[in-house]
Structure 1
Amino acid sequence: MRYISSLSLALSSLGIALSLTTLSGCGSRSGTESADSATTADTTKPAVVDTLALKRAAMRRDSLKADSIVKKSGQLPGAILPGHRIVAFYGNIRAKGMGILGREPKDQMFRKFEKVQKEWQEADPSLPIQPALHNVTITAQGAAGKDGKYRLMNSSATIEEVIAWAKEHNCILFLDVQVGLSDLEHELPKLEKYLKDPIIHLGIDPEFAMATKGVRPGKKIGTYDAKDVNYTINFLARIVAENKLPPKVLTVHRFTQGMITNYKNIKLDPRVQVVMHMDGWGNPILKKDSYKAYIEKQPVQYTGFKLFYEYDARPAPHHIMTPKEVLAELNPKPLYIQYQ
């Protein structure tokens, strides 16, 4: 009967009337019930339950509850931002060319990572460092593949291995998505089982979102609209609500005006912490100008900044910005730092 009561309340909130006699299998019939009434009950058609509407109602209730907690405490329990600075190594553990995460042998890479974390902690002792691995998990491809979508997902073995790396070193893990000629609606559900883990978060990269461009990845810089970001926020918020998880962090890569359109229409949810991440490479002046133009002047929630080991330092006298330089010269100070 507890199930019927909760279901009735949910349906009532949607304006759907429900009679207990329409649900079979709840309790037992009285021995004095007449045959006629039993026949009537047996032949009554069950009420049609709109399960999608029920889910939407549950999400609305959960969102209102989350909003209420945030108004009282400032954030949801377990939220990483703004109480930490995330420092991440980016790449793919199976590809040396994609970033530091896969470029060097594992033990050597983690020794370098520990040194970088120490540098950031010394540059700003006021915020504890949250180390992170950022693995490109669905990767844009130059070849179309069997379905012509120009993207390839890591094997389950690769994903499980990078999860193990993260847990071994007390890191959180971002699974990054490059959709090619596919879209988020088809790609994100592939990662849902992993995102149920509280240490796993998400990144989306409009650079390789080519559906509106009509060309393969690498020919042009792709784009996401606010509606794509909102879809992702809602997708993550549902996972958080259904699995009673702390808020997820969503990184959205950006280094041009056109990579994100209609940013003012992005709708925030306390169950998802959105980082607009400036990931362009080049000399420090160019990087700072891009951050100001596309991150500072078009704010969403939190900000990120990428540093490239291979590209930022070329040609001399260009150099990779130090933690102290980043914190002194960028406003707002980024809470997500990524090394590629």
Structure 2
Amino acid sequence: MKKFSMLLLLAVVAFFLVACSEDTASTNNEKTADEETDQKVEKKEAEPEEEEPETPYKALEPAEGSEPIADGLTEEEKEKMPAVQAHGGERERMVPVGQTLVKGAEDKSDGPLKDHRIVAYYGHPNSENMGILGEMEPEALMSKLKEQTQAYSDADPERPAIPMIELITTVAQRNPGEEGKYFHMTSPEDIDRYAELAEENDALLMLDVQLGTDSVMNQVKLIEKWLKMPNVHLAIDTEFHVAEGETPGINLGQVDGAEVQEAVEYISKMVEENNLPDKIVLVHQFMDEALTNKDAIQPTDNVEVALNYDGWGAAGTKMSLYRKFVRNEAVQYGGFKVFYKKDEPVLTAEEVLKMDPNPSIINYQ
């Protein structure tokens, strides 16, 4: 009996020791898990947040004494758009003088257009016929561009202007070329040269694609290397995008807004993945047919969108078509092209800025 009692006592003690051992192990495991969690939190807190990208441009400061555009206008001019822009229709402004966002639009980005205006020189270095870029050597070009940009900073000091080079990067042509796509690629050396010129002058570079029979996205990917630079943006020349069997310059081209939006979203993702400053996509249009399905085009949190009226000729007609294509078919921002040699007359900065809404991008050809 004593032997049995002794065995029972040993069994109870053994059971107690095992139970205590399991509790201790469980407590140790919980402690270890808690420590690991604390270590992870500490590590996360220790990791520095991704720095905001630096601003890759510098706006030109307004001259001393410059006054806001609205201060020099009559009450009628503040309430009504220029008569030639209205072209016989309703003259009431949609947005106040000086505002660049079209009615109902917002800008959630930190892009250049949010607080500034852009003045661009357009063209190709190897062609005088395609714009001012081909008429001047790079340094002289930058000097004249800054002079023109300064006029806009002075005309509206509340929105200082930034100089930009708009370089035609894929040039539409009338023969199919090696790839059969009716465009010629600007040399990488020339693109690099103007990218460097823009950077040296605290300016922006916009790469313009003329498409031929190629797709918008194919051309975006052709120039992706440069679009990943902090000061480089995209422009799409809709009139040169023709269908198979058609020829740029003979047949009027056309781009669907859905194709533009695909590029906007692609660049938006590029900005996020590469921690780039927010970008601009500019879309050129001078006729109804050249850009369809505009409702599909929407800016993102890091890509601003501007529709640019780029026809040439009588200034009054151009202003009324800006009203038709940009003001009345709004997306976010408006752009307006001025031709030094073909417009009659060539509008001054003050005349351009009286339009409704104020153009956020003014490019010169």
TM above 0.5, one fold?
Answer: yes
Compute the displacement of 1:135 (Å).
0.1
Compute the displacement of 1:220 (Å).
2.1
Question: Is 1:117 the counterpart of 2:157 in the alignment?
Answer: no
Deviations 1:315-336 (A, max 9, x none): xxx21000111111x1000010
Deviations 1:188-227 (A, max 9, x none): 1111111111100000111100027x41101122111111
Cα separation, 1, equivalents of 2:276 and 2:226 = 13
Question: Is 1:232 the counterpart of 2:258 in the alignment?
Answer: no
Map 1:159-308 onto structure 2 (within 5 A).
159-211=191-243, 214-308=245-339
Cα separation, 2, equivalents of 1:252 and 1:74 = 17
Tell me the equivalent position of 1:324. 350
Question: Is 1:158 the counterpart of 2:190 in the alignment?
Answer: yes
Of residues 60, 63, 75 in structure 1, which corresponds to 2:108?
A: 75
> Kindly tell me: are residues 286 and 139 of structure 1, through their superposed partners in 2, closer, same or farther at Cα, counting changes over 3 Å?
same
What one-letter code is carried by the residue in structure 2 that aligns with 1:149? K
Q: Tell me, what secondary structure is at the counterpart of 1:87?
A: strand
User: May I ask how many residue pairs the two structures share in their alignment?
Assistant: 260
Compute the displacement of 1:237 (Å).
0.8
Map 1:33-182 onto structure 2 (within 5 A).
75-77=108-110, 79-182=111-214
Question: Quick check: 1:93–1:162 contact (8 Å CA) kept in 2?
Answer: no
Tell me the equivalent position of 1:336. 361
Q: CA RMSD in A?
A: 1.5
What one-letter code is carried by the residue in structure 1 that aligns with 2:150? K
Q: Tell me, what secondary structure is at the counterpart of 1:89?
A: strand
> Kindly tell me: are residues 238 and 74 of structure 1, through their superposed partners in 2, closer, same or farther at Cα, counting changes over 3 Å?
closer
Cα separation, 1, equivalents of 2:107 and 2:347 = 32
Cα separation, 2, equivalents of 1:100 and 1:219 = 23
> Larger relative contact order (C-alpha < 8 A, sep ≥ 6)?
2
Deviations 1:6-63 (A, max 9, x none): xxxxxxxxxxxxxxxxxxxxxxxxxxxxxxxxxxxxxxxxxxxxxxxxxxxxxxxxxx
Q: Mean Cα displacement is larger for which, 240-249 or 298-307?
A: 240-249
Compute the displacement of 1:74 (Å).
6.0
Identical amino acids, percent of aligned pairs = 36
What one-letter code is carried by the residue in structure 2 that aligns with 1:200? V
Cα separation, 1, equivalents of 2:360 and 2:348 = 15
Question: Quick check: 1:138–1:176 contact (8 Å CA) kept in 2?
Answer: yes
Compute the displacement of 1:267 (Å).
3.0
What one-letter code is carried by the residue in structure 2 that aligns with 1:115? E
Cα separation, 1, equivalents of 2:295 and 2:307 = 13
Q: Tell me, what secondary structure is at the counterpart of 1:235?
A: helix
What one-letter code is carried by the residue in structure 1 that aligns with 2:272? A
What one-letter code is carried by the residue in structure 1 that aligns with 2:303? V
**Normalized against structure 1, the TM-score is what?**
0.74
Deviations 1:73-126 (A, max 9, x none): 96334x212200001111112322211112122333222212211211111111
Cα separation, 1, equivalents of 2:187 and 2:140 = 24
Cα separation, 2, equivalents of 1:251 and 1:323 = 20
Radius of gyration: which is bigger?
2
Cα separation, 2, equivalents of 1:74 and 1:104 = 35
Cα separation, 1, equivalents of 2:242 and 2:330 = 24
> Kindly tell me: are residues 286 and 74 of structure 1, through their superposed partners in 2, closer, same or farther at Cα, counting changes over 3 Å?
closer
